[in-house]
Amino acid sequence: MTDLKRFDGHGVLVTGAARGIGAAVARRLAEEGGRVLVTDRDLLQAERTAAALREQRLAATAFACDVADRGSVEAAVARALALFGSLDVLVNCAAHCTPDVPLFEESSDDAWERDLDVTLTGAYRCCRAALPHLSASGRGAVVLIGSVNGLQDYGNHGYSAAKAGLGSLTRTLAGHAGPRGVRVNLVAPGTVRTSAWEGRDADLDAVRPLYPLGRVGEPEDIAAAVAFLASRDAAWITGTVLPVDGGITAVNRAFRTALRGGAGSA
């Protein structure tokens, strides 16, 4: 539990907040005084997440939201306004990732379109619906959850293309929204221990040595970065992509290892 209270009186909407990074973000912003609308397609789990926050005397309400549906997104924004009177922070965590098939040419249009529709277009829908209200608040901030997949090759063609698109959306929307008093930034996580890795401890052990900081991430690592970018501590930061990745995109650990501990050079 943090002692910071950077979001006292703020109305906050988090998508994909039922579990994982989204749930950690909802918790962190609520701990800092935000009134949080915990939205997700999985309403039952969203309600569990919100209930757990309320047990700690934090302000959280669950609401069903499918970011692939414009009407659902607009209903979520309307619900946040009705509950809080303003919308000050939007965090786009919802995403969809289809595992790659062995051969690229065997991939389907449906899988590609689903990854882009939820991950990229879903964030676009949320930003479009929220922007007028974020502007009206006088302290509006958007934080998108990207991925190192949008910066380098880690597989997952559709998901990675969508995450790369979020980086571009961050820059173009920052340019448009800045004069309207709204900042837009993106956090790009590396490997984070979430339910997506459940039962895959061996895989996490395999990638851990690739991280210069010696571990994979936890959802709370990402939530802390989101809280910074959404707060007034980042008042002069917009349009940025912040890797929160244990150094994996900055340091080629595998290359160093191949050269017997990094004694050589490229």
Give φ, ψ of 121 to 5 degrees.
-70, -30
| 260 inside domain | no
Is residue 132 a part of any domain in this protein? yes
The one catalytic residue among 124, 154, 159, 211: 159
Number of domains within the chain? 1
**Number of CB atoms found within 10 A of residue 256's CB:** 14
For residue 259, being part of any structural domain is answered with no
Q: Which of 31, 38, 36, 35 is nearest to 17 (CA)?
A: 38
Does residue 185 fall inside a structural domain? yes
Residue 236 domain flag = yes
In order along its 266 residues, the chain shows pLDDT tens digits of 788 899 999 999 999 999 999 999 999 999 999 999 999 999 999 999 999 999 999 999 999 999 999 999 999 999 999 999 999 999 999 999 999 999 999 999 999 999 999 999 999 999 999 999 999 999 999 999 999 999 999 999 999 999 999 999 999 999 999 999 999 999 999 999 998 898 899 999 999 999 999 999 999 999 999 999 999 999 999 999 999 999 999 998 888 888 876 555 55
- Token couple for 222: 């990402």
34 falls within a domain: yes
**CATH (domain of 191):** 3.40.50.720
Q: Give the domain extent around 65.
A: 11-198+216-247
Order the strands of the 241-244 sheet from edge to edge: 60-64, 35-40, 11-15, 89-92, 141-145, 183-189, 241-244
Task: Confirm whether 154 is a catalytic residue.
Answer: no
Q: How would DSSP label each residue in 138-199?
A: TS-EEEEE--GGGTS--S-HHHHHHHHHHHHHHHHHHHHHGGGT-EEEEEEE-SB-SGGGTT
pTM comes to: 0.95
Q: How far apart are CA 185 and CA 170, in angstroms?
A: 6
CB 136 within 8 Å of CB 86: yes
DSSP-derived secondary structure letter, 120: I
Query: Do the domain assignments include residue 263?
Result: no
Does 3 map to a domain?
Answer: no
From residue 3, how far is each of 7, 29, 32, 33, 180 by CA, in Å? 12, 12, 7, 10, 31
Q: What is the signed CA dihedral for 205, 211, 213, 215, rounded to 10 degrees?
A: -20
In 10 A of CB 172, how many CB atoms? 11
